[in-house]
Amino acid sequence: MDNNRDKLNNTGLYSRLDLSGMRDHLRRFPEECQNAWDKSLEFELPSDYAQIDSIVILGMGGSGIAGQLIRRLAILEGNIPVWVHQDYGLPPFMTENTLVIASSYSGNTEEILSAFAQTLKTPAQKLAITCGGKLGELAGNSGVPVFHIDYDSPPRVALAHIFFPVAGMLQRLGLLHIDRSDLTETIEVLSLLQSVIDHENPFESNSAKQLASCLHGKLPIIYGAGLLSEVAQRWKAQFNENSKSAAFFEVIPELCHNAIVGYEFPRQMRDQGFVILLHAPNLFPQRISIRYEAIVEIFSKFGIEFEQVEAQGETPLAQMMSAVFYGDYVSFYLAILNDIDPTPVESINFLKKYIG
């Protein structure tokens, strides 16, 4: 623990390892959420969008998780179904009143290009969100509106510029019941959180650094429920990409019917696993809260290490984004403890080159 504390308090280490400036992107996240929302309000929406009664979001990786977060928010705060398609091909249920949002930061994601090309043969309404690439070119040549992302970063860091434009557009269409006060609270919560868990704040008063230290050398397993189900998935992916660490996520209440009995074997799991319980007390039904209590009892029985992380804020948007933001910082600090630059994703680059 002392060694981890010293490493995470060593400001020079961040400059040596974080060669691509991930820490700068983290610092800008609250500001970029506001910028992305404001830009979405300026985007001209086609009149045909007024007839939308369902949404299909095409997205992989960082774009895919943005879609999953939108889907969850729509369950809580919306009035139409949202489907996230993360594969080749298309779901068969689209009509002329379905809005298909093709989301690819680079514009060159193979699965999304394949699906979007098939979308052009359907009567569905269409929208592309991208920095450009082949998706931007294909959409532009086909007369499909393109929301251009103008933030330069790894795709997973551009979450604000994929999530908030969609949220803002759906809000304008009356399909997502969030308003300016929700956004204001969210930015305030994120800004306050950033001031507490920033890399310049010492280990002793920085809970994100402390959690990363607990996770060092462990297998992160993230539990989430309801609003935080997809946030748990985001944490898992950030541990994979930023920390270069294996990680898993599970969703309550489903995990109570299977995963909770999986800690007996192999016995090393009791020593190597570390569970993160994402929690938002004001949004969970009583029965879910009771399940959290029971899970903690089971962990105590088997001697499994865990820590509960509380989402911040009052609104669903603030709690969702604050939990996402906290996880991004924890994965960044774990990368530093693993002595690795959090930005490069060599295995993904190899895979793309191999299949290309």
355: helix, strand or coil:
helix
Domain count, the chain: 2
Whether 188 is covered by a domain: the verdict is no
Beta carbons of 234 and 65 less than 8 angstroms apart: yes
Using alpha carbons, select from 255, 235, 194, 185 the residue that is nearest to residue 23: 194
The gap from C-alpha 81 to its chain's centroid, in whole angstroms, comes to: 20
pLDDT for 341 equals 97
Whether 193 is covered by a domain: the verdict is no
* Helix boundaries (H) for the chain: 2-8, 11-17, 22-42, 61-77, 110-119, 133-141, 160-172, 180-197, 207-215, 229-241, 268-272, 286-302, 316-337, 346-355
- The CA-atom distances, in angstroms, between 340 and each of 18, 28, 38, 336 are 8, 22, 35, 6
170 lies in the same domain as 40: yes
pLDDT for 326 equals 98
Q: Quick count: other Cβ atoms within 10 Å of Cβ 355?
A: 7
Beta carbons of 111 and 87 less than 8 angstroms apart: yes
Instruction: State how far the Cα of 344 lies from the Cα of 67, in Å rounded to an integer.
Output: 23
119 lies in the same domain as 52: yes
Beta carbons of 17 and 145 less than 8 angstroms apart: no
Residue 350 above 70 pLDDT?
A: yes
What's the rounded mean pLDDT across residues 48-66?
95
160 lies in the same domain as 258: no
pLDDT for 268 equals 87
Whether 248 is covered by a domain: the verdict is yes
Give the residues across from 98 on adjacent strands. 54
152 lies in the same domain as 241: no
What amino acid positions are annotated as catalytic residues?
A: 241, 257, 352
> Angle between the 316-337 and 61-77 helix axes, to the nearest 10 degrees?
150
Residues whose CB is less than 8 angstroms from the CB of residue 255 and which lie 6 or more positions away in sequence, other chains included: 223
43 lies in the same domain as 166: yes
Residue 283's pLDDT band, with cuts at 50, 70 and 90, is low
Whether 183 is covered by a domain: the verdict is no
pLDDT for 106 equals 96
Question: DSSP label at 27?
Answer: H
132 lies in the same domain as 224: no
236 lies in the same domain as 282: yes
Assess whether the previous peptide bond of 266 is cis (omega < 30° from 0). yes
Instruction: State how far the Cα of 50 lies from the Cα of 66, in Å rounded to an integer.
Output: 23
- Mean pLDDT computed over every residue of the chain: 95
Question: DSSP label at 51?
Answer: G
Return the CA Rg of the chain.
20
Q: Which helix (H) or strand (E) holds 175?
A: none
Whether 356 is covered by a domain: the verdict is no
38 lies in the same domain as 140: yes
Residue 270's pLDDT band, with cuts at 50, 70 and 90, is confident
Residue 181 above 70 pLDDT?
A: yes
Q: What is the pLDDT of residues 75-103, one digit of tens each?
A: 998 889 999 999 999 998 999 999 999 99
Residue 154 is part of which domain span?
A: 24-178
Q: What is the pLDDT of residues 305-337, one digit of tens each?
A: 999 999 999 999 999 999 999 999 999 999 999
For residue 322, with 0-12 CB atoms within 10 Å meaning exposed, 13-18 middle and 19 or more buried, which class applies?
buried
Instruction: State how far the Cα of 201 lies from the Cα of 204, in Å rounded to an integer.
Output: 8
28 lies in the same domain as 173: yes
**Can you give the CATH number for the domain in which 35 is found?**
3.40.50.10490
pLDDT for 281 equals 74
Whether 227 is covered by a domain: the verdict is yes
What's the rounded mean pLDDT across residues 197-206?
97
Whether 158 is covered by a domain: the verdict is yes
Residue 58 above 70 pLDDT?
A: yes
pLDDT for 356 equals 80
6 lies in the same domain as 35: no
Residue 296's pLDDT band, with cuts at 50, 70 and 90, is very high
Q: Quick count: other Cβ atoms within 10 Å of Cβ 300?
A: 10
40 lies in the same domain as 130: yes
43 lies in the same domain as 169: yes
